[in-house]
Amino acid sequence: MSVLVFAENSGGQFKKATFEAVSYAAAVAALSGSELTAIVLGTIAGDALSALGTYGADKVIHISDASLNTFEAHATAKAIAAAAEAAGAKTVVISNNYSGKALAPRLSVKLKAALATGAVAVPTADGNSLTVRRTVFSNKGFADLTLNSDHKIISLTPNSHKLVELNKAGTLSTLPNPVVAADFKAKTVELKKVSGKIPLTEAELVVSAGRGMKGPENWGMIEEMAELLGAATACSKPVSDLHWRGHEEHVGQTGITIKPNLYIAIGISGAIQHLAGVSGSKVIVAINTDKEAPFFKIADYGIVGDALEIVPKLNAAISKFKAAN
């Protein structure tokens, strides 16, 4: 018996979300004393594979065919299903990012597996069942979902599991590529990678701003704070509806749900839909002119005042802090 983890790579390198999935899968495997196998698809840079052992993989299966460098849910699911069979895995763990969201449902049908998406904690085992805590109602609650099928798939919300160095062997083997050209049914014709910016869904620190900024011309100080902290930028729904910022920055119930270590909300009052998207953040700072703003009810730190005056002061303090540390 084995647990399989999809160790997704981006341009041949593994990201933190992948290591989180490996660490988490190692904890799932430990529940039943199983070994953990990682499946890697496509071309991998240098000795990047060795890190998978570090985070808990006993074995690594590599299907190195370069056609698998492109993610296509139909084709990728087929490759992972082949690996699950080769490893004798009944449980599969993947990251709940955009590709994981496309992949998990397809894979669950292929493997006849029960699926829990967006897990935020290590499951508990009861006989052949696993019970997994996940967020529901867009972060306004949690549900413990019991997976009853023989096969199970869990997708892990990024920033939900601490990395643990287990220094396992990560013994490498290869598998022939089961995917053929006809499996790539949706053809990627153009990639528009955002360069030089931290993707919001992966960010540990997020600086977010709302209508309290008074206009898009004032966003320079928000960008500056994000750059000083190494944070991603985000915004509220009204700001994205007014086209002050792009929709890809809109966090909230109908936008992106995030759970960074630090969320700084500047000039956002905190409508219930916005709070739903960010309430999973570990530490929340709210800056608002209205001391009755709902954001202060879920914030850890609050400053009552005008964002346009406070943000430059904070930026100066961050510069000083960064210089000293």
Partner 1 sequence: MKILVCISNVPDTTTKITFTPDNKAFNKAGVQYIINPYDELALTKALELNEAAGGGTVTVIHVGAVDTEANLRKALAVGADDAVRIDAEPTDAFFVANEIATYAKDKGFDIVFTGRESIDYNGGQVGGMVAELLDLPMVNVINSITLAGSTATIERDIDGGREVVHVDTPFVVSAQKELTEPRIPNMRGIMMARSKPLQVIAPSATEKRTEISQYQAPQAKAGCKFIDANDAESLIQLLHNEAKVI
**Shortest CA distance to 306 belongs to which of 291, 321, 325, 322?**
291
* Contact call for residues 231 and 251 (beta carbons, < 8 A): no
Interface with partner 1 (CB under 8 A), residue from 68, 84, 226, 262:
262
Give the contact letters, 292-321, x = binds to partner 1 (CB under 8 A), - = no. ----xxxxxxxxxx---xx--xx-xxx--x
Q: What is the closest distance, in whole angstroms, from the C-beta atom of residue 91 to partner 1 in the complex?
A: 13
Binders of partner 1 among 65-124, rule CB under 8 A?
A: 71, 73-74, 77, 97-99, 101-106, 108-110, 113-118
* Contact call for residues 255 and 277 (beta carbons, < 8 A): yes
Window of 27-35, 40-48, 143-151, 168-176 that interacts with partner 1 by CB under 8 A? 143-151
Cα distances from 37 to residues 11, 15, 21, in angstroms, run 21, 18, 12
Binders of partner 1 among 27-66, rule CB under 8 A?
A: none
Phi, psi of 232 (to 5 degrees): -90, 155
Interface with partner 1 (CB under 8 A), residue from 33, 46, 127, 141:
141
Interface with partner 1 (CB under 8 A), residue from 67, 142, 178, 219:
142
Cβ proximity to partner 1: between 33 and 162 the closer is 162
Binders of partner 1 among 183-212, rule CB under 8 A?
A: 185-194, 199, 201-202, 205
HSE-CB of 48 using CA atoms within 13 angstroms: 21
How many other CB atoms are there within 10 angstroms of residue 322's CB atom?
11
User: Amino acid identity of 67?
Assistant: S
Cβ proximity to partner 1: between 1 and 283 the closer is 283
